[in-house]
Structure 1
């Protein structure tokens, strides 16, 4: 694995791609595509991943950040999905501490409300049985008031506590891609697949356009895997029925001091009885999520609507009435589009929240498309895709249960707290030795009040294929979400550190800043 995976490496690699005989080309650089290329590379397949924009640019950086088993899926009878999810949740907790971390969840109960403590306790007992461990308990009203000052108290009976997990979704994608690259995969962003190449009724490659330089490439492969999320139908033959139902989920991020919570709260919104949540993340507080049909152009980033803003502020007022949260308190927003497999176009569709989160595979000779699915179950989804691809290459494949992540190098880094070491090891994995060198060079200062170190910015510029400023501030780090106005006040210092490492002249940096400001206001500001 070339440690300097950056724009200069990309420029040198592009002319060589057409000379390779690829076993597998994966289209899509979100968590699904990352999982597929990681599992293929581990098995010695010669594989290439192509991402049109940036890694995790779509849903995989705009999720609700939860690695969960899907408690509500039990009530819908989706037992297999829940079982797979709780198992994969535990696998990720074990393999990637510091990146995937346990989080206590609480559902408050009120007199006359549904579900009550008994119904919720029954659901949680099933949930724990599927996970193979007991992780729930009931807290009476007095305990809950102590645990959650400011929670709505009128008619409070108590709360059901259970355990799930949270992650930094974009960093999870980068960590999985790093494992794939370590096993020989070639991974590139800024490459758009224009069309599939076919010979004799079989997909045999792709026509690609370089979104940075404009050059065209024809790449051939033994089999193609399409993992483009909400865009999965773009490359399907036009005669196939349209089945994806894009659903938008929007979120608010508040300063941690403005709505301080020590655990996640989940409750049913008074407006539509949908589950919503408030939880701590990266020192801030997340409020989410909505669940609406997304009718806008998928090529334009989803953004929160005024109605969604009001809906989420109403959720804050419902559960934490004394806080008085208003729109001016919001640090940032984000909206993701879930690639949900719904009814075929033209058929009657029910409520968005009632759609299944199960995934499906669409197959044609030489090509397998993954549609739908969840972040938590990316690994078994990837195995399922590769099992479908393997016969097209004359191979077989089994799930051997091998770890997704290699062990983190055992390093002692002076000056780091145990919390910081765990966080950095989880986010950077194999790159920890390189980060240790940068910490020695740049020190241990963090950017503002966030947990992000200046050295992490330098590492991303050197080794994480940053092509644009929003790649750096919204996905390699989350500074654009966590700092007021997208980090505007810190841009001069970020420029001083990062511009030389990225090799951008002054005109390029100024252009990137302008594009970033406009993008942030459109995608992450208030409507």
Structure 2
């Protein structure tokens, strides 16, 4: 198992000769690090906040082909996404899982049965399998209980996939480290180093120790997502991105019980909205609005977005009378969409793009599902800039096979073992071995084991309590009040692992709860 570099070893790490410096610790940067390291490049990734802090922990958690993009004629992107979904389901079992979707066919509402089934036929053809079917109103109501039955003629069923996006980033980074890549969080780029107009490194700011450090590399790749125009501005490039915010709700599974994901077109504007079971709760999303806030501040749901999503739920599930009191948590992310000048944010294309500007290679746009495709495209662009390096950039299996678990891990049922292996790879065995009495039990109301908290605190680059509760685990989203009720046991387990004093723990807990109330709860003033 390859652990993270020690913070006190940063000067020596940054003094090495690097082929590639990757800026940005989301799924795009992690994917580039993995594909570069496994092909022999000396690659270093730095992230100014935590790994997956930005868009890659705040997505809709869907690994999908983008069915709605077929309507916009984006066939190539849909085909590419479907192929990557198939690969992730095969290579990341337990982390990427199939999810059935149900879409009601209502009298007078679009898209109708013929149009939707045609789109699903194309979708299935791209995936090389048939997963679609149409059922009558009675069968559909059984599959999706509590739905609105007024005008219901039947419904379409199809399959996509889902994941824990933050854990996917961490698993990719773990695999990259296994191949010799290095990744450091809370290490931000203060300025780019340039000679003769060409970028050849960066001055970095250590967000933990406060030191300013320099690193040089033959090539700098910006994978900073919605923040990319900031670095591009340092080389004189004009802005090209349109930050769009997508906000989501999380409800208790008992309050909105779903076996199938339910997808619908919002009664107000016809945009797609969905609700589906995720990590022991029910996830509802998403909005698609221009984000006017400062990108360095965390995004948060607005009152208008909350009302918008609740209106969709009340229309689709009128019997349940869902309201604000049912919301466990919220989250919002900013998507890095390339600006084409369209008035409607939802009609902006989601393809990725690469720009080489004065030695800075920027990767922007794209989807969670296609991170491997994006990474390989970046390496193709990088090859001419790395004399002497040649490599086969055809896709390889995303993750190495994981050996069967042994020892006390066998106390877990088969589904739990697969789940741990998917999320932790080869480290799953060490996680189970490190568990103390009772820590292989699930935390009530979630699918998370207590042992995952100990492991995250010990081995997964946790610098702040929010890292542990919002990204290493998702307990801050799954449990009411940001997981306040489990804080005493959490402290007993993890304070020693983190090496924090009582004063440090108290400060971190206060800071985390303030963040949760301001950005992960109902909007202020709601």
The two structures have a TM-score, normalised by structure 1, of 0.97
1:300-357 per-position Cα deviation (integer Å, ceiling 9, x unaligned): 10000011111111111010000111101100000010000013xxxx4320000000
Counterpart of 1:490 in structure 2 is 486
User: Pairwise CA RMSD of aligned residues?
Assistant: 1.2
- Which ranges of structure 2 fall in alignment gaps of 5 or more residues? none
- Residues 1:223 and 2:219 aligned together: yes
Q: CA deviation at 1:49?
A: 0.4
Counterpart of 1:407 in structure 2 is 401
With over 3 angstroms needed to count, the CA separation of the structure-2 counterparts of 1:442 and 1:502, relative to structure 1, is: farther
Counterpart of 1:138 in structure 2 is 134
Q: CA deviation at 1:371?
A: 1.1
Residues 81-480 of structure 1 mapped to structure 2, 5 A cutoff: 81-237=77-233, 239-343=236-340, 348-394=341-387, 395-412=389-406, 413-439=409-435, 443-480=439-476
The two structures have a TM-score, normalised by structure 2, of 0.97
Number of equivalenced pairs: 519
Q: Partner of 2:76: helix, strand, or coil?
A: helix
1:59-84 per-position Cα deviation (integer Å, ceiling 9, x unaligned): 00000000000001111111110010
CA distance in 2, matches of 1:219, 1:213: 17
Q: CA deviation at 1:440?
A: 5.6
1:406-443 per-position Cα deviation (integer Å, ceiling 9, x unaligned): 11122232211111111111111110121120236554
Conserved? CA contact 1:387–1:398, under 8 Å: no
CA distance in 2, matches of 1:366, 1:42: 23
1:20-56 per-position Cα deviation (integer Å, ceiling 9, x unaligned): 0000010000000000000001011111000000000
1:228-257 per-position Cα deviation (integer Å, ceiling 9, x unaligned): 010001111364221100000000000000
Conserved? CA contact 1:409–1:432, under 8 Å: no
Conserved? CA contact 1:54–1:190, under 8 Å: yes
CA distance in 1, matches of 2:125, 2:361: 34
CA distance in 1, matches of 2:317, 2:176: 44
CA distance in 2, matches of 1:442, 1:10: 30
Q: CA deviation at 1:117?
A: 0.8
CA distance in 2, matches of 1:272, 1:170: 31
Conserved? CA contact 2:102–2:144, under 8 Å: no
CA distance in 1, matches of 2:420, 2:13: 33
Conserved? CA contact 2:329–2:522, under 8 Å: yes
- Residues 1:38 and 2:34 aligned together: yes
Conserved? CA contact 1:261–1:285, under 8 Å: yes
Conserved? CA contact 2:237–2:357, under 8 Å: no
1:87-136 per-position Cα deviation (integer Å, ceiling 9, x unaligned): 00000000011100000011101011111111111111111111111110
Conserved? CA contact 2:266–2:273, under 8 Å: yes
1:202-240 per-position Cα deviation (integer Å, ceiling 9, x unaligned): 111101010111101110001011000100011113642
CA distance in 1, matches of 2:314, 2:233: 48
CA distance in 2, matches of 1:129, 1:420: 32
Conserved? CA contact 1:106–1:161, under 8 Å: yes
1:445-477 per-position Cα deviation (integer Å, ceiling 9, x unaligned): 222221111111111111110000000000000
Out of 2, 14, 18, the residue aligned to residue 18 of structure 1 is: 14
